[in-house]
Chain A
Amino acid sequence: MDMHVHDRRRFLALAAAAASAPLLTACGAGFGGDDKKNDGSAAADVTGSFDWKREKGKTVKALLNKHPYTDALIADLKTFTEKTGIKVEYDVFPEDNYFDKLTVDLSSGRASYDVFMLGAYMVWQYGPPGWLEDLGPWMRNSSATGDEWDRDDFFPNLLGADQWSLKAGAPLGQGGQYALPWGWETNVVAYNTEVFKKLGLKPAESFDALRDVASVIKRKAPGAGFDGMYGIAVRGSRSWATIHPGFMTMFARNGLKDFTVTDGKLKPAMNTPEAIAFTQDWAGMVKQGGPPSWTSYTWYQCSSDLGAKKAGMLFDADTAAYFQAVKGASPASGKIAFHPGPKGPDGSLATNMWIWSLGMNAKSKKKSAAWLFLQWATGKEHLRKGAITYNHIDPVRKSISQDGAYKDKMKHLEGFIDTFETVVDQTKIQFTPQAQFFDATTSWASALQEIYGGKNAKSVLNGLASDLASKVS
């Protein structure tokens, strides 16, 4: 009997150990990264006149996230192959596990993918370990880059958002160019024109007004023929993604900062008296005018609720409303309008943004071909087609945002173009760049949930700041 038990015990112990294996192996078989910075860029190897056919016959491997931008890209890949003779193989993953896949792949130090999608915030995580190719030398090399690519045509705040010196707290727009902007979202308010008309409401110009409007809609809309409608949809899940759209935009418009930087040292600032008051007000707005089960709300629920006429307003990415507003997309299509959202006390329309960017693997063995792909994918020809024929909006290039055909396409969306043009110059990344961004914002979202649940904002945010202070120092 003893022997019997002993065998089972060993089996169970091994089974338990096996449970740990996936996470352990995810980190690769050796210390995966390389902290050596590449002094000489492979871009210097490209000489002579620029030629799209330079890497003819090669294959580039791309890792892509499931997104309308990706759909537009895949639909147009034939054009790239005809133009360059380069074949593109790609894997598409849903957003839920896209970044886990990318992180594990890059951290393994392999070159499974030559190019990939990433957000500007990911540069802060992937840049310091040396996983991202600095695209600056490629952009500056006229043998590698055609004149038609036209770097100056990008909105400068977008190009600058993917540029960083890799030093925590250092401002963006300096140092290496670790990705190229491809498509982006500015965070504004979209609203249901029907309910606004019926209740005699106007888009809020201040945060106080926004909270009032949200509360009025939640109280009055169900009795005015909008069954189950609440005031405002904002994200609430325990994720970094909850902080960056509406919350960070309004936070910045109130002149608040996530960190202060003194002599290169970061100090959490989300617990200043002003930040505490704002956070409490935000949680109060959600309680009085937000969705039920807010703590599980991602962009998807927010966007769907606006389209399903369950939300009177949405304070999130303009694209999250756009995809509900286009003709036939949802019950609310044709009845969604756009507004820059509330101004700060000093009239600020500082807005946070998300940029889907394209980056190159520093370990890629086909950098020249990969650069041709990046050049084409972020070039005027493809992006114009993506914006006009498909749903690749907001445009990262000035020429496309001013293109007549693009404006014609968007003009039926009430306030879309005006809102975009009002906020575009004030839209930038409002966070302080630092490698612990995802930890900081995930913890911040958790703190926001606790405040929403009734905990004291001051003690929760002081606890958060104290925890983060040791992590970012």
Chain B
Amino acid sequence: MTSLTETDHGAASREEGARQVRAVPRWRRGLRPYLLIVPALLLTGGILYPFGLGLYYTLFDFSASKPRPDMVGFENYRTVFTQEAFWNSAWVTVLYAVGAAAVETVLGVAVALLLHRSSRVGRVLEKILILPLMIAPVIAAIIWKLMLQPSVGVINHLLTPFGLGGVQWTDTPTGALLSSIAVDVWVYTPFVAILALAGLRSLPTSPFEAAAVDGAHWWYTFRRLTLPMLWPYVLVAVIFRFMDSLKVFDIIYALTEGGPGDSTVVLQIRAYLEAIRFQRYSFGISYTIVLWAVVYLAAMVLVRYLGRLQNRAAEVSK
């Protein structure tokens, strides 16, 4: 009896729904899917319009001293690629991105593995770990600049008892680059750690239980189970960090302004100087377009690799 009543209610409800749908005019029903994609279209337009405009500008010699520019075709790109400054900046950018992404990945995964062992301390550390991510990178760079100051900075003060108090962190090309990478690592390692930790917690438990039953060594379990299944998560973190590091501006500019010499002038800083500080707009934008192409290619390669890793992880978890 109860079951019959529920069926009646269900049928009535379905009929009511159908009546409501019929009440909406067909043209409105037809329009609905298009309305739903309007926000996405606006967002895409907001991205593509300045991008297209930027591409267009690079075909001119537009600068503050030439507000009515001439079309120069690909001359700006030719100049970019024939400049020694560009190749220096490209090399510094790659060094920075590879260095920062590599160190952050290794440290982030290590931290995640330590925190994965559920403990009270681990749960507290998880909360603390996220703090550097709460600080704007430019603020972090300024704080680190003060801490790395050789005469009054806290780092050298702490190193003095070990006879290392005289280190001039950002005064040499190598020191400046390593210091910049260190600040990036301090800010973003928690990001990698959190992604890796989320990955670890979402891994299926059955393969590990089977390994434990078989008496597998922890290193074997880690190498043959944990790592292959974790790699897709780690690679997502690597993609984000590598792309972000290729585009770095704030940390380096606040810490070294690109110095000493040209040793930390990454592509974004070069673009900023050309477009904003020196007001050679077209030329500066050409730098950002080249950088965009580099980021795009890097992202494509890494994403393709990510797909392969995901397949391999799926095989392992079966």
Interface residues of A (CB under 8 A from B): 1-2, 4-5, 8-9, 12-21, 23-27, 29, 31-35, 100, 103-104, 107, 125-126, 128-130, 228, 230, 237-239, 291-296, 308, 310, 435-436, 438-439, 442, 445-447, 449-450, 452-453, 455
Inter-chain contacts of B166 with A (CB < 8 A): 292
Q: Is the interface of A mostly helix, strand, loop or mixed?
A: helix
Instruction: Report the minimal beta-carbon distance from A101 to chain B, rounded to whole angstroms.
Output: 10
Q: Name which of A18, A32, A33, A445 has the most chain B CB atoms within 10 A of its CB.
A: A33
Q: Give A132 to B296 CA distance when docked, in angstroms.
A: 40
Stretch at the interface among B11-19, B126-134, B167-175: B167-175
Contact B292 A27 (CB under 8 A): no
Say if the beta carbon of B103 comes within 8 Å of chain A: no
Contact A295 B256 (CB under 8 A): yes
Contact B279 A107 (CB under 8 A): yes
Say if the beta carbon of B295 comes within 8 Å of chain A: yes
Instruction: Report the minimal beta-carbon distance from B212 to chain A, rounded to whole angstroms.
Output: 31
Q: Give A91 to B288 CA distance when docked, in angstroms.
A: 30
Contact A31 B68 (CB under 8 A): yes
Known interface pairs A13-B296, A21-B47, A23-B284; A293-B170 also in contact (CB < 8 Å): yes
Q: Give A104 to B281 CA distance when docked, in angstroms.
A: 11
Inter-chain contacts of B304 with A (CB < 8 A): 5, 9
Instruction: Report the minimal beta-carbon distance from B100 to chain A, rounded to whole angstroms.
Output: 16
| Among B260, B272, B277, contact of A295 (Cβ-Cβ < 8 Å) | B260
Measured CB to CB, the nearest residue on chain B to A451 is: B261
Inter-chain contacts of B277 with A (CB < 8 A): 100, 103, 438-439, 442
Inter-chain contacts of B239 with A (CB < 8 A): 12
Interface residues of B (CB under 8 A from A): 44, 46-48, 50-51, 53-54, 57, 60, 62, 64-69, 145, 148-152, 166, 168-173, 176, 239, 243, 247, 255-262, 271-273, 275-279, 281, 284-285, 288-289, 291-292, 295-296, 299-300, 303-304, 306-307, 310-311
Inter-chain contacts of A449 with B (CB < 8 A): 259-261
Instruction: Report the minimal beta-carbon distance from B79 to chain A, rounded to whole angstroms.
Output: 10
Known interface pairs A31-B68, A129-B64, A292-B150; A20-B259 also in contact (CB < 8 Å): no
Q: Give A128 to B288 CA distance when docked, in angstroms.
A: 26
Contact B64 A435 (CB under 8 A): yes
Instruction: Report the minimal beta-carbon distance from B233 to chain A, rounded to whole angstroms.
Output: 14
Measured CB to CB, the nearest residue on chain B to A13 is: B296
Contact B67 A125 (CB under 8 A): no
Measured CB to CB, the nearest residue on chain B to A99 is: B277
| Among A27, A310, A436, A455, contact of B152 (Cβ-Cβ < 8 Å) | A310
Inter-chain contacts of B46 with A (CB < 8 A): 21
Known interface pairs A295-B256, A446-B262; A453-B306 also in contact (CB < 8 Å): no
| Among B53, B288, B291, contact of A29 (Cβ-Cβ < 8 Å) | B53
Contact A21 B170 (CB under 8 A): no
Instruction: Report the minimal beta-carbon distance from A106 to chain B, rounded to whole angstroms.
Output: 9
Measured CB to CB, the nearest residue on chain B to A463 is: B84
Inter-chain contacts of A295 with B (CB < 8 A): 170-171, 176, 256, 259-260
Q: Name which of A12, A34, A126 has the most chain B CB atoms within 10 A of its CB.
A: A12
Contact A238 B260 (CB under 8 A): yes
Inter-chain contacts of A238 with B (CB < 8 A): 256-261
Inter-chain contacts of B44 with A (CB < 8 A): 14
Measured CB to CB, the nearest residue on chain B to A129 is: B64
Instruction: Report the minimal beta-carbon distance from B61 to chain A, rounded to whole angstroms.
Output: 11
Contact A23 B168 (CB under 8 A): no
Contact A128 B47 (CB under 8 A): no
Contact B64 A20 (CB under 8 A): no
6 contacts between A and B (CB under 8 A): A5-B303, A27-B285, A126-B64, A292-B166, A438-B278, A442-B273
Instruction: Report the minimal beta-carbon distance from B84 to chain A, rounded to whole angstroms.
Output: 9
Q: Give A15 to B300 CA distance when docked, in angstroms.
A: 12
| Among A20, A35, A104, contact of B54 (Cβ-Cβ < 8 Å) | A20
| Among B47, B281, B300, contact of A17 (Cβ-Cβ < 8 Å) | B47
Known interface pairs A13-B296, A103-B276; A292-B259 also in contact (CB < 8 Å): no
Inter-chain contacts of B289 with A (CB < 8 A): 20
Contact B151 A453 (CB under 8 A): no
Known interface pairs A20-B291, A26-B275; A450-B151 also in contact (CB < 8 Å): no
Known interface pairs A1-B307, A23-B288; A453-B172 also in contact (CB < 8 Å): yes
Instruction: Report the minimal beta-carbon distance from B264 to chain A, rounded to whole angstroms.
Output: 9
Additional 4 contacts, C-beta under 8 A, given A17-B296, A33-B68, A100-B277: A16-B292, A20-B289, A103-B277, A439-B278
Known interface pairs A293-B168, A446-B261; A27-B47 also in contact (CB < 8 Å): no
Instruction: Report the minimal beta-carbon distance from B55 to chain A, rounded to whole angstroms.
Output: 9
Inter-chain contacts of A20 with B (CB < 8 A): 50-51, 54, 288-289, 291-292
Q: Give A5 to B301 CA distance when docked, in angstroms.
A: 11
Inter-chain contacts of A452 with B (CB < 8 A): 260
Q: Give A446 to B150 CA distance when docked, in angstroms.
A: 21
Measured CB to CB, the nearest residue on chain B to A24 is: B54
Inter-chain contacts of A128 with B (CB < 8 A): 64-65
Known interface pairs A103-B276, A450-B261; A12-B151 also in contact (CB < 8 Å): no
Instruction: Report the minimal beta-carbon distance from B47 to chain A, rounded to whole angstroms.
Output: 5
Contact A436 B48 (CB under 8 A): no
Inter-chain contacts of A237 with B (CB < 8 A): 257, 259
Contact B288 A292 (CB under 8 A): no
Measured CB to CB, the nearest residue on chain A to B284 is: A23
Contact B170 A296 (CB under 8 A): yes
Q: Give A129 to B173 CA distance when docked, in angstroms.
A: 37
Measured CB to CB, the nearest residue on chain A to B274 is: A439
The 9 A-B pairs of least Cβ separation, nearest first, read A33-B67, A238-B259, A24-B54, A292-B150, A450-B261, A449-B260, A16-B295, A12-B299, A295-B260
Instruction: Report the minimal beta-carbon distance from A27 to chain B, rounded to whole angstroms.
Output: 5
Inter-chain contacts of A125 with B (CB < 8 A): 64, 279
Contact B69 A31 (CB under 8 A): yes
Contact B51 A310 (CB under 8 A): no
Inter-chain contacts of A1 with B (CB < 8 A): 307, 310-311
Known interface pairs A238-B257, A446-B261; A12-B303 also in contact (CB < 8 Å): yes
Inter-chain contacts of B169 with A (CB < 8 A): 293
Instruction: Report the minimal beta-carbon distance from A288 to chain B, rounded to whole angstroms.
Output: 15
| Among B51, B67, B69, B149, contact of A293 (Cβ-Cβ < 8 Å) | B149
Inter-chain contacts of B285 with A (CB < 8 A): 23-24, 27
Inter-chain contacts of A19 with B (CB < 8 A): 247, 292, 295
